[in-house]
Chains A and B, each alone.
Chain A
Amino acid sequence: MGFKRSPQTFSAKVNAVTIGTGEKAVTIGGENVFPLYSFDAPIENKPKIGVQISDRGYNNAVAGIAEYYKGAENFVDMAKKAALMPGADFLVLSFESANPDAENTSVEECAALAKEIAEAVDMPIVVEGCKNKEKDAKLFDKIAAALEGKNSLFLSAQEENYKEIAASAGLAYKHKVGAESAVDINLAKQLNVLINQMGVAGENIVMNLGSAAAGYGFEYVASTMDRVRSAALSQNDTMLQMPVITPVSDEAWSVKESIVSQEEFPQWGSMEQRGVSMEISTAAACLAAGSNAVILRHPESIATISKLISAMCDKEGN
């Protein structure tokens, strides 16, 4: 009698990738089990949380975010505060203002800011572009040079601009390259292969498999992650063994549920609480599906997800 356990451990592993340098450096990946299955084998490196700030500030920020960054006069000030966010493991700098449709900030200006921030904080840095593929290629080149030696991660290289980003951030300045594909296992693998063929080792690539807020096509995110993880572990597919980072906040804070005011939908209650809840739900679902790192914005979400990760991965009694 008794329950016969049959742990699913694999001889293959997810690559362990380190971002940043020194004491605060973080390592993601390294596990040989399905996501959070610590009952099958210990999780080598528990999932990590990035705190995202934008160079456009959060002018329309909800109270909890505005309050946290109160007194910060510029992007560098915000970064210093973000670096102290309880529960956060790395800093995510989003250079949205560089988008030609926004302020079209010059790449030199962005690079100077990135350098100033890197000197002011000791947290590992993840750099996000402006969602314009052409501009991102130029932007990442300059920022990669400015952050040389910081072992940062650049999000993201896509099908259209991976060559420039792999050559510059990946090879010339030895940073980690984020490979972004749109919720499809084949596209993900193809991009990893292409970046790898440029000379960037698989161990220096982190995947962004695409993201969606809860309720907005999340089944594609979940199933893509399920399939990628399964191929990495059970078929030892080395071109899918990169750890996964998922930007949650951009999606979570732009869906209707998070932006419609309470005046407009009184029944729905506080807009801020809806946004926090959307960010938490999406992040928790991403972690259950296989994200090794999630990018979040609100202090309350970061605190909750950090607590969830500890509860799932730490040894009992810790």
Chain B
Amino acid sequence: MALKGLDIFKLTPKTNCKECGNPTCMAFAMKAAQGSVPIEKCPYLSDDAKAKLSEATAPPMKSLKIGVNETEHTIGGETVLFRHDKTFVSKNLYAVNVCASCVDEKLKEIENVDYERIGERMYVELINLVYEGDKDAYVELVNKTLNKGRVLILDCECVDAARAALDVCADAKPILNGANEENYEQMNALAVEKKVVLGVRAKDIDALYDTVAKIEALGNKELVLDVTGSSIKEAFANAVQVRRAAIKDKDRTFGYPSIINAAALAKDDINMQTALASVFTLKYGSIIIMQSMSYAQALPLYGLRQNIYTDPQKPMKVEPGIYPINGADENSVCCTTVDFALTYFLVSGELERSGVPVNLLISDSGGYSVLTAWAAGKLSASSIAKFIKEFDVENKIKNRVLILPGKVAVLKGEVEEKLPDWKIIIAPNEAVSIVKYFKELEV
């Protein structure tokens, strides 16, 4: 049962000592009720009260860390079913299947896709190691894939082989994805001993629930749930029902991140795996396992993920700077717009389609769209002039034509005053008109 702020307040010392970092005990109680501060922050609660409260105020879905140092990732910790209710917090991660016979070729493919998009590194974060029945080959596979900058998933239901693999890689904090209805006691003991996250699977959602409950009873709550099942329909039903039970119905037994094996659901059908990965990015995969990750797959999938895991309260921004488009150089014209990612992508995409070399100047405008930035004073003649100076545009670019967004045509006079050497012209209002405008532009 969820506790209200007032219930928690009654258990606090009501001294407003501020030791928990909050101004008053009431403020602490309200935050604790929402799950945004852990109850342990108050040093004066009795152990009894703490036990009672930590159970009731624990977040509905466990947040787990996998990997170490630069490969460390957080999964889970979601508090809402729909991003507009607040935000999603831990982006889904991608794994690619690797087996003993294909490891060299696959590693090359995995390492090939590695790029940056709006300040985020896009790459395959995990490697899923498929156990094929040969323990020695499996250990060798672990050795080959360890220290490649990715977290390992040991996809292995054989306790003996899993132990041998963990003897090699436990320190790198892999996921041991291999507990099922039959072997859960031994697998759990192994995961606890090696201090790694345990993946649990079962023949259906009821068996999964019971198995998780049994493992929890053994004291382990470092779990991920492999909800893949035997069909696409079942996987989707499992993923949604597990997440919904945790978040909406507060059923903690299902309050764990999920694994979806798209490679198993659509073996060798790469297009279908792309479709599935997209569906599970929206609804509710924490780790998605693919057979491959080519650029063709990565470009839409990582872009989609970046969109969905954007905090609705914080707009996506691109870095301010000079972006040469279509091979623009110092003799090409300049045009400027805001750093709101959506605006940037629309404008730069249309500019690329026009084929005309242009230097796109992106200034810091707080991540707002053109009109909003203008209204908020973040896009003004001064901000444009300041950008030109700060980024040393006049020394880097010889051309003295600057094109302003059509929606802020009113700035023309002021910009002319601040930048007397420049010829200021006005672009169309909408990005759709850019191609035609630039093709016909004569300056």
Least CB distance from A241 to B in Å reads 18
Contact A308 B296 (CB under 8 A): no
Residues 25-51 of chain A, each 1 if its beta carbon lies under 8 Å from chain B, else 0? 000000000001111000000000000
Contact B294 A269 (CB under 8 A): yes
The yes or no answer to B232 lying at the interface (CB within 8 A) is yes
* Least CB separation from B210: chain A residue: A1
Least CB distance from A129 to B in Å reads 14
Q: Contacts A3-B209, A215-B300: A285 and B241 contacting too (C-beta < 8 A)?
A: no
The yes or no answer to B206 lying at the interface (CB within 8 A) is yes
Contact B83 A101 (CB under 8 A): no
CB contacts under 8 Å to B, within A183-215, are: 213-215
Residues on A with C-beta less than 8 A from B348 are: 256
Contact A223 B303 (CB under 8 A): no
Contact B282 A277 (CB under 8 A): no
Q: Contacts A8-B244, A269-B294: A222 and B83 contacting too (C-beta < 8 A)?
A: yes
Residues on A with C-beta less than 8 A from B310 are: 219
Q: Contacts A255-B349, A285-B281: A214 and B303 contacting too (C-beta < 8 A)?
A: yes
Residues 280-311 of chain A, each 1 if its beta carbon lies under 8 Å from chain B, else 0? 11111101110000000000110111011001
* Least CB separation from A3: chain B residue: B209
The yes or no answer to B308 lying at the interface (CB within 8 A) is yes
The yes or no answer to B112 lying at the interface (CB within 8 A) is yes
Q: Contacts A39-B240, A219-B83, A257-B299: A2 and B210 contacting too (C-beta < 8 A)?
A: yes
Least CB distance from A17 to B in Å reads 24
Contact B295 A268 (CB under 8 A): yes
Pick the residue among B117, B297, B312 that contacts A277 (CB under 8 A). B297
Contact B276 A284 (CB under 8 A): yes
Residues on A with C-beta less than 8 A from B306 are: 215
Contact A270 B300 (CB under 8 A): no
Contact A5 B241 (CB under 8 A): yes
Bound Cα distance A165, B254 (Å) = 50
Pick the residue among B82, B278, B294, B307 that contacts A230 (CB under 8 A). B82
Contact A214 B300 (CB under 8 A): yes
The yes or no answer to B18 lying at the interface (CB within 8 A) is no
Contact A305 B244 (CB under 8 A): no
Contact A281 B304 (CB under 8 A): yes
Residues on B with C-beta less than 8 A from A316 are: 231, 233
Q: Give chain A's interface secondary structure class.
A: helix
A38, A287, A300, A312 — most chain B CB neighbours (10 Å): A312
Contact A38 B274 (CB under 8 A): no
Least CB distance from B248 to A in Å reads 8
The yes or no answer to B416 lying at the interface (CB within 8 A) is no
Least CB distance from B184 to A in Å reads 15
* Least CB separation from A268: chain B residue: B295
* Least CB separation from B310: chain A residue: A219
Residues 110-132 of chain A, each 1 if its beta carbon lies under 8 Å from chain B, else 0? 00000000000000000000010
* Least CB separation from B213: chain A residue: A1
A residues in contact (CB < 8 Å) with B: 1-6, 8, 36-39, 101, 131, 213-220, 222-223, 226-227, 230, 254-257, 259-260, 267-270, 273-274, 276-278, 280-285, 287-289, 300-301, 303-305, 307-308, 311-312, 314, 316
Extra 18 A-B pairs, beta carbons < 8 Å, given A214-B300, A223-B82, A277-B297: A3-B208, A6-B244, A39-B237, A214-B303, A215-B307, A223-B83, A223-B312, A256-B348, A257-B300, A268-B299, A274-B295, A277-B300, A281-B278, A288-B283, A289-B282, A301-B271, A304-B271, A308-B276
What are 27 of the A-B contact pairs (CB < 8 Å)?
A1-B210, A2-B209, A3-B205, A3-B241, A6-B244, A39-B240, A101-B436, A215-B306, A217-B345, A219-B83, A219-B312, A222-B282, A254-B349, A267-B295, A270-B296, A277-B274, A277-B300, A280-B278, A284-B278, A284-B279, A285-B278, A304-B275, A308-B232, A308-B276, A312-B232, A312-B233, A316-B233
